Chain A
Amino acid sequence: MLIDNSMKVMAKVFLRFMLTFLLIYLAIIFFNTIVPLFFIGFSEFDVNEFKISATLYLAALIYSMLVAFAAKCTSVYYDMFTIFSITRKRIMRTINITNVLLTVTGSVVLNLMLLMHDIPDRGLFLIMITLSIYLILNFLNFVAFLGKLFGWYYIVGTFVLLASFILFTVNYIGGFIQMGLFKTEIITFFIVATAGFFLVNNFVLSKRYEYKH
C-alpha cells in the first residue's frame, strides 16, 4: 500500500511546511501587488504585471520550500529510523515516494502557473523544472545524510565542491540562461546527477551505518 504510517508522518511534516510557505507567499503577493494600489488607486491595477509577480514569487517559494523541506525531512527519516525502529527498506521507500510526489506536484503547479503566460518552449520548461526539483531533493538528501552520518565538515566540503563545479561550468549555465544553448548537455547532466545521488542515497541507507550526531 502506498500510504503507510511513515508516509503519513512525512505528509504531516510537509503539510505544515506548505502551510507556512503558502502564508508567506500570500503575504508577499499582498504587500507587493495589492497594498501599492491603496496609494496609487485601484484603476492602476495591471493584470499582466500581477500574473508575472504571482508566478515569479510562486516559483521562488516552491524552490525554497522544497530546499528547506529536503534538508529538514532527512532528520525526520533518521528519527523514524533510530527512535521508532522502522526498517531501512520502508524508510528508503518513503524517501523515494516522497521525492517523486514532491517533484510531480511542484512541477505541475509551476507549469500550470506558466500556462498564464505566453512563453515559447513549454516542453523545455516542463523538463527542466521537473529534473531540477528532483535533483535538488536528491542532492540535499545526500548532503543531509552525509552530515548525519559523518559530521558537518562534509556538508561544508560538499558545498565548497559545488561552488568549484559551478565555476567550472559557468559557461554552460550562462549560455543556457542567456541564449538557450547547451540544452542537451544540461539535461543529460541533470539526469545523470539525479540518478547518481538517488543510487548513492539508497546505497548509504542500505548499509549498516550508525547514527552518530
Chain B
Amino acid sequence: MNIKGFIFLICTIFVLVLTINYSVNNNHFLLTRKTNGTFSESLYIKDNFFATEDTKIYLQAFYDTQDTDVEVWIEGKDGFVYQIDLNSEKEVEKIDLPKGMYSFIIKGERGKDTNINTLIGYYTDEVRFINDDKDEEG
C-alpha cells in the first residue's frame, strides 16, 4: 500500500473540509440582484438596502431607447451617493460604500415600451436588501 499517497489523500480531504467550513461560516458570497422590465410613460423603483460594514457593490444598468429619460442612482441618508451614466454599453461600475442605509433608485420618464435592465452585485455578509417588493408606478 502506498502510505505516502494515502496520507496525502487524507490531508487533501482535511483541506477540503476546512475550506467548506470556512466558506460556510464566513458567508462571503457574491450574489446578484436583477431588475428587468419594460415600462411606458413613467417608472419609479426604490430598492432599499443596508450595508452592515464598509463594502463595495457592482452595478450594471442599461436601457434600449434613446428618447427616454432614465436615471439610476444610489441615495444615502445625505442625498446622492452615486449616479450611474446610462448608455447602451453594459459596463460595470464598482462603487465603494461606507456602512449605512441606502436606496437604489430607478426613475424613468417618456418611456415607450422601454426595456430597462439593472444588475447589482453584492456580498451576502455585507449587504442586506430590506424590501423584496418594489414600488412601481407607470
Contact = CB atoms under 8 A, between A and B. Distances in A.
6 contacts: A153-B6, A160-B9, A167-B20, A171-B28, A174-B30, A181-B58
Contacts of A163: 16
B115 interface: no
Interface of A: 120, 150-154, 156-158, 160-161, 163-164, 167-168, 170-171, 174-175, 178-181
B121 A178 contact: yes
A164 B32 CA distance: 23
B58 A175 contact: yes
Contacts of B15: 160-161, 164
B30 A175 contact: yes
A160 B13 contact: yes
A37 to B, nearest CB: 31
B80 interface: no
B40 interface: no
A174 B4 CA distance: 36
Given A120-B90, A175-B121, A179-B92, 17 more contacts: A150-B4, A151-B5, A154-B5, A156-B9, A157-B9, A160-B13, A160-B16, A161-B15, A167-B19, A168-B19, A168-B23, A171-B29, A171-B30, A174-B30, A179-B32, A179-B58, A180-B92
A171 B32 CA distance: 11
Nearest to B15: A164
A120 B9 CA distance: 43
A179 B19 contact: no
B130 to A, nearest CB: 22
Contacts of A156: 9, 12
A52 B19 CA distance: 37
B8 A157 contact: yes
Contact of A161 (B6, B12, B30): B12
B42 interface: no
Contact of A167 (B23, B90, B121): B23
Contacts of B11: 157
A213 to B, nearest CB: 10
Contacts of A150: 2, 4-5
Contact of B16 (A151, A152, A164, A174): A164
Nearest to B124: A171
B119 A153 contact: no
Which 7 A/B pairs are nearest by Cβ-Cβ distance? A153-B5, A157-B12, A160-B12, A164-B19, A171-B30, A153-B9, A151-B2
Contacts of A167: 16, 19-20, 23
Contacts of B32: 178-179
Given A160-B13, A161-B12, A153 B60 contact: no
Interface in B47-85: 58, 60
A168 to B, nearest CB: 6
Contacts of B123: 171
